[in-house]
Amino acid sequence: MQKRKLGKSGLEVSALGLGCMGMSFAYGPAPDRKEMIILIRKAVERGITFFDTAEAYGPFVNEELVGEALAPFCGQVVIATKFGFKIGPDGKQLGQDSRPEHIKEVAEASLRRLKVNAIDLFYQHRVDTSVPIEDVAGAVKELIQEGKVKHFGMSEAGVKTIRRAHAVQPVTALQSEYSLWWRKPEEEIIPTLEELGIGFVPFSPLGKGFLTGKIDEKTKFDKSDFRNIVPRFMPENRKANQALVDLLAGIGKRKKATSAQVALAWLLAQKPWIVPIPGTTKVNRLEENIGSVKVELTSEDLRQIEDAASKITVQGARYPEELERRTGL
């Protein structure tokens, strides 16, 4: 597995990470825990060193899963987790909470669940408009000085907030959605990250599964699947967005690669400091995703993808309105 550095921070990780959220949360009933531990350890065997979780996934159970699975590899892998939500005793989210005292409480709890002495990368999960970002960055800076956190990250933040935070405590990585069907980061985010030397970690690099070509307008999701409330996944929008999947499939045929591999290879080709974190609960999909690192897209391939993609207008919002309001702040 190739390695990449997240911006100028010096934090080196595998070119592809593993998003672990779906192993406990969001996409229907949680799979068997033992099987997920095997999957995570298989990822390590195949060269993946970068794993993404959050206290909010479950909540808490995903961090516990990742902590148990990666305990034998202490010091060999990089674990990213997140703070920023208030979670009630019944496990329900009660809004955002990035107060410095809460950040420090979350850090202590995450350290225990992850079974580590220091959190490698600690993201603010979403910008909390009720707490100045300078206070947030300052709290993480103190945790770094105490040796409890190694790197500071942000998720779905806008450029002004990133700059303000970065001035207090250098931001190692921004995690936001980015793929061939969500390209808004190209407008302001990516140029700003390049200027400041911040790495980019795209989540949902396969469009929450849509870009794999395994989902069409007839696909039925489990009632607990998050995609049921996503406008982009309404049946009529899935049908309209099929053109993007067809584009990837056509290139894949020529490259002897799957649609998913082409979608990931496209992301990897954008910048050397971009590290996608596709999630999966299946070993065969893990292997498929890892195979994307070997798919080489020439400048001509990339130009053809760009030309074809520019003629396709993706239908449907990526989030319901109330969730979209939490992003890009």
Which positions are catalytic?
57
Partnered with residue 4 across adjacent β-strands are: 13
User: Is 266 in contact with 302 (CB distance < 8 Å)?
Assistant: yes
The shares of helix, strand and coil residues in the chain, as percent rounded to the nearest 5, are: 45, 15, 35
Looking at this protein, which amino acid is placed at residue 272?
P
Q: What does the alpha-carbon distance between residue 196 and residue 13 come to, in Å, rounded to a whole number?
A: 19
Residue 58 falls in which region: left (phi positive, over 0), alpha (psi -120 to 50) or beta: left
CA distance 310 to 48: 33
Whose tokens are 């892998």? That residue is: 77
Tell me which residue has tokens 């990837």. 248
Distance CA 22, CA 34 (A): 14
Residue 123: strand pairing partners: 82, 153
Distance between CA atoms of residues 268 and 4, nearest Å: 10
> Rounded to whole angstroms, how far apart are CA atoms 255 and 252?
5
Length of the chain equals 329
Q: Which of 67, 16, 13, 53 is nearest to 285 (CA)?
A: 16
Determine phi and psi for 223, rounding to 5 degrees: -60, -25
8 A C-beta contact, residue 154 and residue 175 = yes
Given a contact cutoff of 8 angstroms between Cβ atoms, the answer to whether 202 and 277 are in contact is yes
Is-contact 193 7, C-beta < 8 A? Answer: yes
